């Protein structure tokens, strides 16, 4: 039976904040080119189309340079000779060139449209796949809005860059080089005049790029913060309305919106300044060339047709030159988006087990796009352990079925201060095969963290955890989670039907198993919903009550007859009557499995054969409920309500 995929509410003392830092910016030594080159694994499969599109666009762009040469021939030939037939021929030639140029640009767009959509889809699929494999501690640190903005806004920027600016960086560069070669061939004096602004423009572009990169990164991080706020406000709308916090949320939204507006205005100001200078310098050079060329024509040193052709080519080069500012801005935006994307992709996945399949490792190479939908159901439990779970390290069978063991287990959160003590220290606990163990302790003692170590939602930092005598780190995650089912105190449901949410716990479960699980969890209320088990429960299951959500989550945990069952106070939201019914049905399930149950109330503790008391990160006492009541003052205080764990 696989882990249900519920988000744990880990009992951290000081969780790291997620989201963007206000001072976020390009890393020291960051290179726009190096950042964009990281897209190569995704672009490589369509490189043929991109190269073809670039070549077609270069030919089309260069055809615009043929028009001035044709004009020179018309002016110096038919016009000077007063030959109407030649003028008509020249006009027809110009028309053909214009139509061919337009057709070539249409072909270029056709070449790149479909492949680039597949690049964006592949990157988004890889990001989603990688997020599923990242440890829970990563998701604890990152705001969901930051991740969402990387999967949407940032990837759209990448696609748009590959569709237009990338091609035209190449095309406009080639056009400028070819155009100036033609200008120098026509008259090298005038050509040199037009080339004078090249050096100051290069200095301006370098100056602009550094500052624009900072503003671009800041803006994209602020978009992530804004997305996080909107998401939290929507998901928490009941709290916002219930406590009258809509004005406070609106003020927070306006504040973030104003900060983003100021950053975008800064970007616009930088771009406007650069564009103005880039347009002004070539215009001044063009004016100087016009005056010098007119003098040369008047002196007879230059033909009128040559001057017309020269000025026409110079005007044709205006867009390639003036677009430099725009292309640099878009390139920096895309480089920033790429950096943000790979910040997530570079995050290390949960440590792979030696037997994990290679396909479970993250990669940056593109894969086939995936269709978004509810999370895929994990491998089903058959009620029997896989071969690797019933053998010791030497491969010999272990008929004793050793149950679940914690041996000198310690745990520290990865981002905890180095000098802080571990949350769990030297935990030793043995839940015998077929036994139900209740785990009790004060708030913050590490109960939820300990349960999350079993399905490897968190990785223990020291010691060993074994299932039926096999170290869990020697099992692949799919094998381990086919053995262990979990249900957490805070139930997570998906935007799917009630039945689909339950069946996520076992891929091969059918209607019979579904009904049995609903009966155990006393979740028969689903049959009274408008479409029964086929009723959509909505995002986070918010159309249901807290107790209903918790019962569906419990049904999901038991639907696959798991070998090991981990329950984190799964009955906390139930009323007394329903709790009694669920406990009665749950006893039948617990009698056939090995279970670890986090308990806060005596009624839940009574489901267990034995009880373990977790205190200050250690198991301080183990015994039956009545034994601990007589012999352990801390346990007695907890059960009497005098402890600090009543919630």
**Cα(87)–Cα(107) distance, rounded to whole angstroms?**
31
Segment 576-591, tens digit of pLDDT: 777 777 777 778 788 8
Backbone dihedral region for residue 6 (phi beyond 0: left; psi -120 to 50: alpha; all else: beta): beta
Residue 138 lies in a domain: yes
- Whether 415 and 340 share a structural domain: no
Same domain membership, residue 269 and residue 394: no
Cα–Cα dist 437/624, whole Å: 9
Q: What is the mean pLDDT of the chain?
A: 77
CATH of the domain at 527: 3.40.50.300
Residue 27 lies in a domain: no
Q: What is the mean pLDDT of residues 467-496?
A: 84
| Residue recorded with tokens 């007695």 | 636
**Are residues 226 and 104 part of one domain?**
yes
Per-residue pLDDT at 405 exceeds 90: yes
The first and second tokens of residue 258, run together, are: 């104003």
Domain final residue pick, 317, 345, 373: 345
Domain count, the chain: 2
64 and 167 in a single domain? The answer is yes
What is the rounded CA–CA span in Å between residue 465 and residue 353?
A: 14
Residue 486: enclosing H or E segment and its boundaries? strand 484-487
Residue 633 has pLDDT above 80, yes or no: yes
Q: 66-70, 230-234, 371-375, 594-598: lowest mean pLDDT where?
A: 371-375
In a domain, 382, yes or no: no
Per-residue pLDDT of 325-378, as tens digits, reads 788 888 888 888 899 999 999 988 865 544 444 433 333 334 333 333 344 443
> Does residue 404 contact residue 596 with C-beta atoms inside 8 Å?
yes
Counting other chains too, the contacts that 616-620 makes at CB distance below 8 Å and 24 or more residues apart are: 616/425, 616/445, 617/421, 617/422, 617/423, 617/424, 617/425, 617/427, 617/445, 617/446, 618/424, 618/425, 618/426, 618/427, 619/406, 619/427, 619/428, 619/429
Region 247-261 average pLDDT: 87
Identify whether residues 544 and 620 lie together within a single domain. yes
> 409 and 322 in one domain?
no
Q: How far apart are alpha carbons 65 and 317 in whole angstroms?
A: 9
From CA 369, how far away is CA 122, in angstroms rounded? 5
How many whole angstroms separate alpha carbon 430 and alpha carbon 122?
A: 45
Indicate the pLDDT class of residue 311, thresholds 50, 70 and 90. confident
Nearest to 46, CA basis, from 122, 126, 127: 122
Same domain, 395 and 335: no
Is residue 381 included in any domain, yes or no? Answer: no
Q: What's the pLDDT at 197?
A: 80
Residue 364 lies in a domain: no
Closest to 422 measured CA to CA, from 585, 228, 618: 618
Do residues 426 and 409 touch, judged by C-beta distance below 8 A? yes
Give the residue from 566, 446, 538, 612 showing the smallest Cα distance to 11: 446
| 351 burial type by CB count under 10 A (0-12 exposed, 13-18 middle, 19+ buried) | exposed
Q: Give the pLDDT score at 190.
A: 79
pLDDT of 356 reads 46
Element (H, E) at 484: strand 484-487
Determine which of 61-65, 236-240, 470-474, 566-570 has the lowest per-residue pLDDT on average.
236-240
Radius of gyration of the chain (CA): 34
**Domain CATH number, residue 113:** 1.20.1560.10
pLDDT at 77 exceeding the cut of 70: no
Average pLDDT over residues 583-606: 83
Boundary-marking domain end, from 345, 374, 396:
345
Bridge partner residues of 465 (DSSP)? 406
Q: Are residues 316 and 411 in the same domain?
A: no
Could you read off the pLDDT of 1-58 as tens digits, one per residue? 333 333 333 333 333 334 444 344 444 556 788 888 999 999 888 888 888 887 887 8
DSSP-derived letter for residue 145 is H
Distance CA 567, CA 455 (A): 12
State the pLDDT at residue 8: 36
Residue 585 included in any domain = yes
Same domain, 420 and 277: no
Which residue range is the domain that position 555 belongs to?
A: 387-640
251 and 148 in one domain?
Answer: yes
Chosen domain end from 316, 345, 374: 345
Is residue 561 a contact partner of residue 530, using CB atoms and an 8 Å limit?
no
- Asked whether residue 614 carries a pLDDT value surpassing 90, the answer given is yes
Which sign does the torsion angle of CA 625, 626, 627, 631 carry? positive
**DSSP-derived 3-state class of residue 614:** strand
* Residue, of 367 and 159, whose pLDDT is higher: 159
Nearest-10 crossing angle of helices 546-558, 511-520? 130
Residues 319 and 401 in one domain: no
Q: Is residue 182 part of a domain?
A: yes
Q: Indicate the pairing of strand 564-568 with strand 484-487.
A: parallel
């Amino acid at each position: 039976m696989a882990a249900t995929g519920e988000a744990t509410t880990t009992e951290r003392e000081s969780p790291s904040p997620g989201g963007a830092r206000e001072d976020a910016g390009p890393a020291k030594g960051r290179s726009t080119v190096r950042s964009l080159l990281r897209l190569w694994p995704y672009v490589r499969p369509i490189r043929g189309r991109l190269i073809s599109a670039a070549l077609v666009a270069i030919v089309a762009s260069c055809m615009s340079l043929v028009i001035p040469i044709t004009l020179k021939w018309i002016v110096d030939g038919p016009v000077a000779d007063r030959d109407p037939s030649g003028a008509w021929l020249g006009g027809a030639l110009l028309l053909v060139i214009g139509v061919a140029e337009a057709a070539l640009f249409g072909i270029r767009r056709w070449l790149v449209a479909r492949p680039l959509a597949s690049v964006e889809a592949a990157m988004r699929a890889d990001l989603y796949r990688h997020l599923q494999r990242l440890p829970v501690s990563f998701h604890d640190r990152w705001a969901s809005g930051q991740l969402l903005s990387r999967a949407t806004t940032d990837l759209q920027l990448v696609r748009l860059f590959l569709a237009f600016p990338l091609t035209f960086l190449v095309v406009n560069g080639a056009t400028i080089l070819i155009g100036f070669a033609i200008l120098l061939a026509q008259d090298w004096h005038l050509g040199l005049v037009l080339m004078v602004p090249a050096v100051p423009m290069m200095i301006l572009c370098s100056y602009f790029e550094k500052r624009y990169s900072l503003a671009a990164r800041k803006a994209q991080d602020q978009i992530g913060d804004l997305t996080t706020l909107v998401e939290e406000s929507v998901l928490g709308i009941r709290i916002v309305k219930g406590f009258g916090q809509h004005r406070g949320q609106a003020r927070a939204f306006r504040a973030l919106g104003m900060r983003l507006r100021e950053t975008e205005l800064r970007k616009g100001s930088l771009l406007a300044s650069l564009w103005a200078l880039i347009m002004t310098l070539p215009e001044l050079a063009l004016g100087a060339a016009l005056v010098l060329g007119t003098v040369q024509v008047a002196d007879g040193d230059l033909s009128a047709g040559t001057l017309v052709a020269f000025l026409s080519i110079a005007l044709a080069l205006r867009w390639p030159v003036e677009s430099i500012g725009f292309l640099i801005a878009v390139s920096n935006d895309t480089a920033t988006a790429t950096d943000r994307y790979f910040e997530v992709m570079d995050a290390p996945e949960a440590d792979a087990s030696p037997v994990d399949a290679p396909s479970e490792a993250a990669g940056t190479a593109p894969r086939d796009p995936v269709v978004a939908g509810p999370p895929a159901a994990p491998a089903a439990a058959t009620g029997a352990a896989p071969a690797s779970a019933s053998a010791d390290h030497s491969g010999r069978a272990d008929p004793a079925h050793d149950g679940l063991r914690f041996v000198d287990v310690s745990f520290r959160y990865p981002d905890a201060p180095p000098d802080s003590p571990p949350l769990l220290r030297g935990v030793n606990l043995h839940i015998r095969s077929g036994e139900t163990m209740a785990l009790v302790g004060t708030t913050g003692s590490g109960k939820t963290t300990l349960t999350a170590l079993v399905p490897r939602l968190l990785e223990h930092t020291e010691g060993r955890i074994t299932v039926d005598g096999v170290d869990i780190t020697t099992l692949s995650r799919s094998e381990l989670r086919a053995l262990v089912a979990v249900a957490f105190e805070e139930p997570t449901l998906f935007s799917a039907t009630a039945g689909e949410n339950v069946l996520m716990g076992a891929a091969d479960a059918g209607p019979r198993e579904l009904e049995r699980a609903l009966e155990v969890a006393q979740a028969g209320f689903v049959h009274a919903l408008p479409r029964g088990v086929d009723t959509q429960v909505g995002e986070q299951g918010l159309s249901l009550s807290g107790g209903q959500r918790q019962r569906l989550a419990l049904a999901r945990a038991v639907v696959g007859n798991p070998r090991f069952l981990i329950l984190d106070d799964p009955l906390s939201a139930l009323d007394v009557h329903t709790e009694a019914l669920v406990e009665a049905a749950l006893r039948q399930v617990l009698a056939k499995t090995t279970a670890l149950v986090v308990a806060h109330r005596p009624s839940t503790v009574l489901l267990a054969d034995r009880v373990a008391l977790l205190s200050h990160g250690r198991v301080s006492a183990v015994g039956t409920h009545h034994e601990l009541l007589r012999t352990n003052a801390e346990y007695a205080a907890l059960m009497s309500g005098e402890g600090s764990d009543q919630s």
